[in-house]
Amino acid sequence: MGALMGLLLDPGLTGYTLAPDGPTTPGRTADVLVARHRRLPRDRMGHRLTASGRSLIGQALVTTYGPRAGVAPGALVRDAHRRWSVPSLGLNASVAHCGEFSAVAFAPAAHAIGVDIQDERDRPYALRWLGDLLARQEPATIRDFAECEALIKASHLTKETFAGTRLPEWRPGWRPMAERAGAEGVTGGRSGTGTGAGSAMGTKPAPRSGTGTGTEAAPGARAPSASETAPPPPTPTYHVRSLVLRPEGAPPLHLALACDAPVPVRFHHLERE
């Protein structure tokens, strides 16, 4: 956690905080804050107006870690994959909102993190489309939808490059993204356009010029250096997890997380006016 080591949870937190769901070591615990915003303004059509992701992350920092974790809006950074981070605090972040609920997840800078929250609205076309992407014989579930969104937020994947990804069978806690049958890599690497070396979602590297086997150099070609012949570094396997929240007076919510390691998670709940 770097600069956040030693900070305590804000004693004014309303709701509840659960202890991490695993043994903690400094700088390895993720925090997830689920907040209910009961008095969100509405537009002319009656739709709720949600605060921006930047402001939700800023509020969640102070709520979760205390006033000393407050940062200026400009201290929140997004990378080329639109992933949030707070460099001054040594944190990565992700944010989602659904109706009057928001979810913000923080992880140490060494780990990518993604969060999503979904209600159980009827959306048959979207779930059928996602089921096809996941190679299912039936439509995807809302839980699948939330986990896929969280995975996209944590990784380099996009909706356009998601085809070929497979979610592991559900069980409580973290589940590693499994290798695809017959594929060369695993889903969820952080570099390149695929999901691992020789990705099933990407393409195999073209053979070097020569006989077409990739093992002989063309006449006159220089010998490849050790760095060019060395195998690519391994890419991390992403992990996903999800649970169902049952807020009072509201439909069930599916909360999903994705991370490049199965870190312990501390969950917080907050009721906002």
Alpha-helix runs per DSSP H in 16-123: 53-65
Tokens of 236: 């991390």
State the Cα–Cα distance between residues 206 and 217, nearest whole angstrom: 13
pLDDT digits 0-9 by tens, 64-77: 998 889 998 889 99
- Residues 192-213 have a mean pLDDT of 34
**Confidence grade of residue 185 (pLDDT, cut at 50, 70, 90):** very low
pLDDT digits 0-9 by tens, 214-244: 444 445 555 555 555 555 444 458 999 999 9
Q: Decide if pLDDT at 40 tops 80.
A: no
Supply the pTM of this predicted model.
0.74
Q: Decide if pLDDT at 5 tops 90.
A: no
List all residues 6 or more positions away from 135 whose beta carbon is below 8 Å from its beta carbon. 166
Yes or no: say if 239 and 175 are a contact pair by the CB < 8 Å rule: yes
The predicted structure's pLDDT at residue 255: 96
The predicted structure's pLDDT at residue 158: 83
Neighbours of 172 (CB within 10 A): 9
The mean of the pLDDT values for the chain is: 75
